[in-house]
Amino acid sequence: MRGWIAALVGALLLGLGGTPEAGTMRMVVADLPYARVWDAAVQAVRDYPAGRAADGVIETGWLERGPHEGEGGFTRVMERVTVRVEAFAERVTRVSVDVEARGWRDSQWVPIPDTAARERAILDRVRDAQG
């Protein structure tokens, strides 16, 4: 049974995950019901201001914070997160995360194009919240 699940996850990663759009990280969750993955995604972004959470999409409001490692040159950073939770089969779900970030520099908010580390961090929080 575990071999079948591993093969299914591999196929999903290749076939359904494909090459993610720029700035979007994905993860496939096998052997958990959609509702549990959805709850984990909601928990993963609980520290962000409320936005919209319906129909498999969570869109947070902007969160202002201090810069993290790799975000040098900014005195403040604000970011918002979009999480998509899509069911593909019974107990197989894909989670996609996109982070939009801006940094405060020279008296203006400047887009931060490389958000891969923040997207991975959100996916890690989704994974950890699954228990």
Question: 11-38 pLDDT, tens per residue?
Answer: 343 334 444 445 678 889 888 899 999 9
At the topology level of CATH, where does 2-129 sit?
Alpha-D-Glucose-1,6-Bisphosphate; Chain A, domain 4 (3.30.530)
DSSP letters of the chain?
-HHHHHHHHHHHIIIII-SPPTTEEEEEEESS-HHHHHHHHHHHTTTSPP-EEETTEEE---EEE---TT-TT-SEEEEEEEEEEEEEETTEEEEEEEEEEEEEETTEEEEE---HHHHHHHHHHHHHHT-
- The domain ranges of the chain are 2-129
- Decide: pTM greater than 0.85: no
The tens digit of pLDDT for each residue in 33-72 reads: 999 999 999 999 999 999 999 999 999 999 999 998 888 8
